[in-house]
Structure 1
Amino acid sequence: MATTLEQRLDRLETRLALQDLTSDYCLGFDKRDMGRFLAIWWPDAVWEIGPPFGDFIGHEGVVHAVEDILWPAWKDSTHYTTNLRVTPVSLDVIAGICDVYCIGNSIEGQAQSVAATYTDRFERRDGVWKIARRKVTMQHFSPLTGITLSAPQ
């Protein structure tokens, strides 16, 4: 338990940094901003998306997953993360878990709904927090039959 003011401040700064990483994942992906998206990962990170997409290692794997598999499959998407809980493992390692809901249109125009849980290992290296490992556990990945997602007219 943090007792000094400096320790308490570090805990608050850490929590805010982890919330930013979680948000930048969603914003980077949905706004198709690879710079923002890639900045949240350590160069040796592991992204376990699992079936049907696979697992990806390092920046090269993350870029491949996004640019060659995911963005080509999604015409547009909006991710929402919630319920972020963090548990210290050590001074520079935090275990995290949050839920995600994503809604969007496939490249064919089919509305899709996805719900999943992200289980994370955040690591602080040289004073900077990033994701070292993210495991995606999907609850559903379903077409929204008969629904058209479009901007207001």
Structure 2
Amino acid sequence: MTEDIEHRLDRVESRFAMHDLVSDYCHGFDKRDWDRFAAIWWPDAVWDIGPPFGTFEGSDGIAHVTKDILWDAWLASSHYTTNLVITFEGKDRATGVCDVDCIGTTSDGQAQTVAASYFDIFERRGGVWKIAHRKVKMYHFNPLSGVTLSPPA
């Protein structure tokens, strides 16, 4: 009985940890908080963003695409993730899929909207959950013609 409760409690705590990783991705990216964003990935993680960006491996690859490409391309962004479904594949490995909507302004001042899904592999190493692999499947990446995004006056 105690083993069953410990197992169930571990699953609950693990789910919360994975939800936090998905949220920290959004907060870290949108608020340009590199430490928060970098903390979600294992050093050997793969971030497969897909077209038009590509696939980036390891801490250096993820830092490069984030700091040198994506943050330069976006003046501002707001990511909203939902519908996270987590499937455990063992005690220290799980997959997740969630949907994301992003709205923002690109460096040329164009308002954009993006809809995608994130397909994650989460791994627990040394008692800590992080993302080992994230595949992005984009459904649309479109300009919002005639729309200017600005803070309230």
| TM-score interval for Structure 1 and Structure 2 normalised by the shorter chain | over 0.9
Deviation at 1:42, TM superposition (A): 0.2
Unmatched tracts of structure 1, length 5 or more? none
SS in 2 for 1:7: helix
- The AA in structure 2 aligned to 1:141 is F
Q: TM-score, normalised by structure 1?
A: 0.97
**What is the match of residue 81 of structure 1?**
81
SS in 2 for 1:4: helix
Deviation at 1:5, TM superposition (A): 1.1
Q: Give, in whole Å, the separation in 1 of the partners of 2:104 and 2:46.
A: 25
Q: Where do 4+ consecutive residues of structure 1 move more than 3 Å?
A: none
Output aligned runs, 1:99-114, within 5 Å: 99-114=99-114
Output aligned runs, 1:70-149, within 5 Å: 70-149=70-149
Unmatched tracts of structure 2, length 5 or more? none
Number of residue pairs the alignment of both structures matches:
151
Q: Give, in whole Å, the separation in 1 of the partners of 2:106 and 2:22.
A: 23
- The AA in structure 1 aligned to 2:83 is N
Q: Give, in whole Å, the separation in 1 of the partners of 2:131 and 2:10.
A: 18
Deviation at 1:38, TM superposition (A): 0.4
Q: Give, in whole Å, the separation in 2 of the partners of 1:95 and 1:66.
A: 23
Deviation at 1:108, TM superposition (A): 1.1
Could you give the per-residue CA deviations for residues 34-87 of structure 1, whole angstroms, max 9, x where no partner exists? 100000000000000011101000000000010111000000000000000000
Q: Give, in whole Å, the separation in 1 of the partners of 2:12 and 2:114.
A: 31
SS in 2 for 1:86: strand
SS in 2 for 1:32: coil
Q: TM-score, normalised by structure 2?
A: 0.97
Deviation at 1:145, TM superposition (A): 0.3
CA RMSD of aligned residues (A): 0.7
Deviation at 1:24, TM superposition (A): 0.2
- What is the aligned-residue identity percentage? 63
**What is the match of residue 21 of structure 2?**
21
Q: Give, in whole Å, the separation in 1 of the partners of 2:62 and 2:30.
A: 15
Please, which moves more after superposition, 48-57 or 3-12? 3-12
Q: Give, in whole Å, the separation in 2 of the partners of 1:13 and 1:120.
A: 18
